[in-house]
Chains A and B, each alone.
Chain A
């Protein structure tokens, strides 16, 4: 379903070129739960951004359901991201001026919807699944870090994506909350969605089944 083939990304720092990601290749099947780990600066986020189509690699290809992300223009790539990829950025990403329910429904309105429809009933179902249904009408400022993260996951799932990507989703959470969030990802994978999570800690993953990719200086360790 997702094929990452020999992907590299070069950066220049202090006049010297270095590879943030260097020849990474892997695949993730439908329903697969893949964890990319590594120390800070190992290239995890760069790789994730390339997979999400947010960053162009210098070499290699990323194919999702047969579509080569590296060859698409902005319009097609944005549409694909909206329809097929649920992306959870590092840190808080819930928009302050919308309620939790509106935040969850938002991606529905950012893409083409030729058939119309409305996302709010699906959004409510997702918030229930995430255990924050009672917070639907609240604004992000009133939520805790764990609740915000769960709202982000609900939002990433609203368009029923084939691939869910999360960048350091537990970085600012205590262990209990981190375990809850990781369990939600595992559940999502079990529902048939391919899930890729980048993390620098694996304690919260204890007891869960997942594939692991460890990065060190841009290469698979």
Chain B
């Protein structure tokens, strides 16, 4: 025979009204989904911002005026873009007195056709002068980039040793980068000679704007400004000094600040939604528990008449609500796991901001935290009803529906 302890009695009670139990657990499951989903999204965005910060080792990007937005799109979201400086202008820009270090990059947008295996952003870097990309590229490829080799971003299909075709030419995948959460995940990195070859193919295949470019063109100059020069001063100097050549300046600090502001706004929205839902769920649960407890006033009176203490009665009610919460939280965890792992890539894209998937530890932490909050929601919501019933006069409870 089964021992009729508090847990066994609570289980019997919640199973007695399956529809109501499902409704109560459903509210907790929804709460769990929102808290976990919000937590994972927030963590992913923070990771993305941190990744961006760690990879923006430069102070500014110099690009043709009017292409600042494209440069940001390429950097943040990997949007394929193509714009160029003359080599001669690039040389003059890199020689600016306010610059401590400078390195050129060449952006080529691959085609969405049979000539290219994927629509990506080709980024040519100069290993001799590069101080931004090479340090973390070397983590994936310690020997450095050889001519004809490509390093592909994490979201590009392919693996080290495989071959990918771009602009009608086959390239060897030397390495695949770890996920960064920014535009580099859909970018292909090559050294400058390889980039020049690709650029010639691009022009030969009639790539957009290619007719106006020379094969030694560069797309942007990545700059580290001298310590004693302010970024505003540098920016103004470039714009004024090269006003005839139409040079645009993208300050990475401004870019990062903009991302940070967007991130903070999004985190605020997510937090407000989660907090509002938590309160709404508490309210709904409190009403449902209150109704349930009210309907059972006589039953609780019978428990008291049989010798149950007030504490025993409160424990019974709180255990019932904790079991409902536990069930809801488990269902919610399963649901959100299903949703999150099915659509994690789409979630990152929908965020339209740097987004780096949370790692296993972060996922576990978010799940556990949300689980704990969801678990206490039930007992918290039923606390008032439990307090009210335990403080009722037993003889009055026994008169209900007698």
Contact = CB atoms under 8 A, between A and B. Distances in A.
Interface of A: 45-46, 49, 52, 54-55, 74-75, 78-83, 85, 87, 89-91, 93, 95-98, 101-102, 105-107, 109-111, 118, 120, 155, 159
Interface in B232-282: none
A97 B307 contact: no
B248 to A, nearest CB: 74
A78 B394 CA distance: 11
A105 B305 contact: no
Interface of A (DSSP majority class): helix
Given A97-B12, A109-B5, A89 B301 contact: yes
B306 A87 contact: yes
A153 to B, nearest CB: 13
B1 A105 contact: yes
Contacts of B16: 96-97
A110 B305 contact: no
B393 A74 contact: no
Interface in B289-337: 298-299, 301-312
Given A49-B395, A54-B395, A54-B398, A89 B305 contact: yes
Interface of B: 1-5, 12-13, 15-16, 298-299, 301-312, 393-395, 398-399, 401-402
Contact of A107 (B12, B298, B306, B393): B306
8 contacts: A52-B305, A54-B394, A79-B307, A90-B398, A93-B305, A107-B307, A110-B308, A118-B3
Nearest to B390: A74
B395 to A, nearest CB: 4
A121 to B, nearest CB: 9
Contact of B12 (A74, A98, A120): A98
Given A89-B398, A97-B16, A78 B4 contact: no
A46 B396 CA distance: 10
Q: Give the 4 A-B CB pairs with smallest separation, nearest first.
A: A82-B307, A91-B402, A49-B395, A78-B309
A110 B394 contact: no
B1 A89 contact: no
B312 A93 contact: no
Contacts of A109: 3-5
